[in-house]
A and B are shown apart, each in its own frame.
Chain A
Amino acid sequence: GQQVMQIPQYQHVQEGEDFTTYCNSSTTLSNIQWYKQRPGGHPVFLIQLVKSGEVKKQKRLTFQFGEAKKNSSLHITATQTTDVGTYFCAGGSRLSFGAGTTVTVRA
């Protein structure tokens, strides 16, 4: 079945620094969605990408869908403590979830 791989699993970031998490699939994805789960909370929808090469921004978050629609990335600039949580990508018609990238921030 369709699998979505996500790296890194953990990201420890100095406050103010940038980081990127990556999502890869072995098959072409019809769409990719990104979710954020705060510690103790439930996943919350962030954004959806559908078009090849699509780039969307939400304030300090930049989401990109690869040209081949097999990979995606989430780049966060100037990390803040509010960015703490686990970021999941989910792709395809059955929305297979990646393992998530758990982000911690040191002040």
Chain B
Amino acid sequence: GAVVSQHPSRVICKSGTSVKIECRSLDFQATTMFWYRQFPKQSLMLMATSNEGSKATYEQGVEKDKFLINHASLTLSTLTVTSAHPEDSSFYICSARGGTGYNSPLHFGNGTRLTVT
């Protein structure tokens, strides 16, 4: 089945530094990937839609200059949290559609637990 790999699984960084999170589709091509943020015991909040070869589409309230998304290939999307602050500490998770239709199920990465000190 479709596998999405997300790296790193955990990262601790100092306030003011930047962190890059990678999301790879291992056995399929994903023209579209999605980035979410999840707070403890809460739902998945869609941050942005990452489109291969074009600019990401950000949800309302998400700062595109702070959360940089690059989708350079059909199998890799990256999310860079720039100038991280403690309030950016969260669980970030990516997903990709297993097929071409918008009805296709989403396959999620294992998530990245970011802690900003």
Contacts and interface: CB of A to CB of B under 8 A. Distances in A.
Interface of A: 30-31, 33, 35, 41-45, 48, 50, 88, 90, 93-100, 102
A31 B43 contact: no
B42 interface: yes
A93 B106 CA distance: 12
B93 A42 contact: yes
A25 to B, nearest CB: 14
Dominant secondary structure of chain B at its interface with chain A:
loop
A35 B107 CA distance: 10
A74 to B, nearest CB: 15
Contacts, number: 41
Contact of A50 (B103, B107, B108): B103
Contacts of B107: 45
Contacts of B105: 33, 45, 48
A50 B104 CA distance: 11
A42 B112 CA distance: 10
Nearest to B6: A42
A99 B38 CA distance: 11
Contacts of A42: 93, 108-111
